[in-house]
Amino acid sequence: MKKIMMRLALTALTLPLFCSLVFAQAQIPKFPDAAASDPVALGWMQGFPPKAERIIRFGDASFYRFPALRWSFSNISQLFPLVPVLRGDGPVTKLPRAERQDLDAVAFTTLDGRKMNWGESLSANYTDGILVLHKGKIVYERYFGAFSPTKKHAAMSVTKSFVGTLAAILTGEGKLDPTAPVTNYVPELKNTAYGDATVRQVMDMTTSVKFSEVYSDPKAEIWDFARASGMMPAAPNYQGPRTTFDFLATLTKKDQHDEAFAYKSVDPEVLAWIMSRATGKSLAELTSERIWAKLGAEHDAFYMVDSIGAAMAGGGLNTSLRDLARFGEMLRLDGYYNGQQIVPRAVVADIRGGADKGKFAKAGYKTLPGFSYRNMWWVSHNEHGVYTARGVHGQLIWIDPKAEMVIVRYASYPIGANAFIDPTSLPAYMALAKHLIGE
């Protein structure tokens, strides 16, 4: 156990500390590139048993070390307990194909001024899988490393956009009152940061909570959360909360709510708790009933769960790539997909409309100028009306209404900060969109 804790401490301290130092210098650190870190070629978890130095072990933190995470993100079920998100028994929705050979050559300039093309961007971004839909047809689909069409990949914080969409559906139906205090649904949060917050503030992350996700700080609350939720082994003498629910009830207020966007993984956890109290259903049940079982997904999805089976609303979803594309395409089509209105048009319009750009700007995201954050989606307010779901290490849904394009990407970028991967990603998406519509 001590050994595990030491490893965790090392992981916790070194990589993110390194990142933040490098980040400050605005330089991308040197890691083995995508080909050199291919998890299958490196033999990660290959063989019976794998070589000792190539084992990624359930119950310690080795899974999250680069390059091991290049395998882990495609094999989360072997590392964590989970709850399924059922696809139901309907037929699989067809994704027609019209693959194009001209896309790899699409050129763009990275945010830091380098020339690059689409094909090159895939390895630069440590892509595990990427799929582009244009007018509903697959024009591009690639898999790398340990990922494949039949596997499920960690969506990380893309999960939050599912949670926000579900909440917006429920508010549209009147099952959830966005103006109501959080405590109307979860009285246990009365004496916490959420004691005077509204549901809407949680949905748009304008709550002000003492919750640091600065991974380089061992005292940051993210580590308390990890221990409480069971994502990280706790020390033998650990006396703190042992569930996500109990942890949420310890959070205290920072400044005033509603003044600024403040990204934090505890808000979707609170929102999921609110929804479960409002509906009597778990997040996995809601996701299946309202979204997954209606999409005609190819595969069940799943959520990683905490030590008492509560789905991790901040980052626990795992899906196949094509099914993630179906979800994105459904939203692009204003919620109508597979012969039915899955998400109300008004909900999609509400997401697309975004929120207060001034409040967002206060959070200081240098790669996302002019954005806002609504229903747990990142809204660009750009000329294509793009909105996007983003997860750490490169997970993505990119919906471009004007170009009638949806991109979904799963990745295992070495650093857990999308500011490193945005420079070779965001301009690539815009270049591809413009290429597809001849702009």
Say whether residue 45 binds a second copy (CB under 8 A). yes
* Exposure letters 315-337 (e unless 16+ CB within 10 A, then b): bbbbbbbbbbbbbbbbbbbbbeb
Member of 13, 28, 86, 437 binding a second copy (CB under 8 A) = 86
> In the complex with a second copy, which residue's Cβ is closer, 202 or 399?
202
Per DSSP, what are the bridge partners of residue 26?
none
Contacts of 150 by beta carbon, 8 Å cutoff, 6+ apart: 299, 320
Identify which of 365, 373, 439, 375 has the alpha carbon closest to the alpha carbon of residue 405.
439
Which region, judged by CB under 8 A, interacts with a second copy, from 45-53, 204-212, 336-344, 402-410?
Answer: 45-53
DSSP-based three-state secondary structure for 44: coil
Which pair of tokens denotes residue 272?
Answer: 């999921």
Member of 17, 22, 92, 419 binding a second copy (CB under 8 A) = 92
Q: How far is the CB of 244 from a second copy (least distance, A)?
A: 9
16 conformational bin, left if phi > 0, alpha if psi -120 to 50, beta if neither? alpha
Say whether residue 78 binds a second copy (CB under 8 A). yes
Member of 257, 264, 299, 374 binding a second copy (CB under 8 A) = 299
Which region, judged by CB under 8 A, interacts with a second copy, from 130-138, 269-277, 362-370, 394-402?
Answer: 269-277
Q: How far is the CB of 99 from a second copy (least distance, A)?
A: 19
Say whether residue 135 binds a second copy (CB under 8 A). no
Catalytic residue from among 37, 74, 157, 265? 157
Query: Do the Cβ atoms of 173 and 346 come closer than 8 Å?
Result: no
Query: Which amino acid is it at 10?
Result: L
Say whether residue 277 binds a second copy (CB under 8 A). yes
Say whether residue 218 binds a second copy (CB under 8 A). no
Member of 61, 83, 405, 408 binding a second copy (CB under 8 A) = 83
The dihedrals phi and psi of 42, each to the nearest 5 degrees, come to -75, -10
Member of 33, 41, 59, 255 binding a second copy (CB under 8 A) = 59
Say whether residue 58 binds a second copy (CB under 8 A). yes
Beta 301-304 vs 82-85: how paired, if at all? Answer: antiparallel
CA 169 to chain centre: 19
Member of 49, 96, 113, 438 binding a second copy (CB under 8 A) = 49
Which region, judged by CB under 8 A, interacts with a second copy, from 82-90, 113-121, 340-348, 369-377?
Answer: 82-90
The three-point CA angle 405-287-404 to 5° equals 10
Query: How far, CA to CA in Å, does 249 sit from each of 44, 245, 312, 390, 431?
Result: 39, 7, 16, 27, 45
Distance CA 42, CA 36 (A): 8
Say whether residue 250 binds a second copy (CB under 8 A). no
Which region, judged by CB under 8 A, interacts with a second copy, from 15-23, 43-51, 153-161, 325-333?
Answer: 43-51
> In the complex with a second copy, which residue's Cβ is closer, 57 or 137?
57
Member of 150, 256, 340, 341 binding a second copy (CB under 8 A) = 150
Furthest-apart CA atoms within the chain: distance in Å: 62
Say whether residue 72 binds a second copy (CB under 8 A). no
Distance CA 278, CA 273 (A): 9
Which pair of tokens denotes residue 65?
Answer: 């070390």
Say whether residue 225 binds a second copy (CB under 8 A). no
Say if residue 379 is exposed, middle or buried (CB neighbours under 10 Å; 0-12, 13-18, 19+). Answer: buried
> In the complex with a second copy, which residue's Cβ is closer, 230 or 315?
230
Mark whether 157 is an active-site residue. Answer: yes
Stretch 364-423 residues interacting with a second copy (CB under 8 A): none
Say whether residue 81 binds a second copy (CB under 8 A). yes
Which pair of tokens denotes residue 311?
Answer: 């789905």
Say whether residue 138 binds a second copy (CB under 8 A). no
Cis amide bond preceding 236, omega within 30: no
Using CB under 8 A as the binding criterion, the count of chain residues that bind a second copy stands at 44
Task: Just list the catalytic residues.
Answer: 157
Contacts to a second copy by CB under 8 A: 1-2, 45, 48-50, 55-59, 75, 77-84, 86, 89, 92, 150, 230, 236, 242-243, 245-246, 273, 276-277, 282, 298-300, 302, 305-310
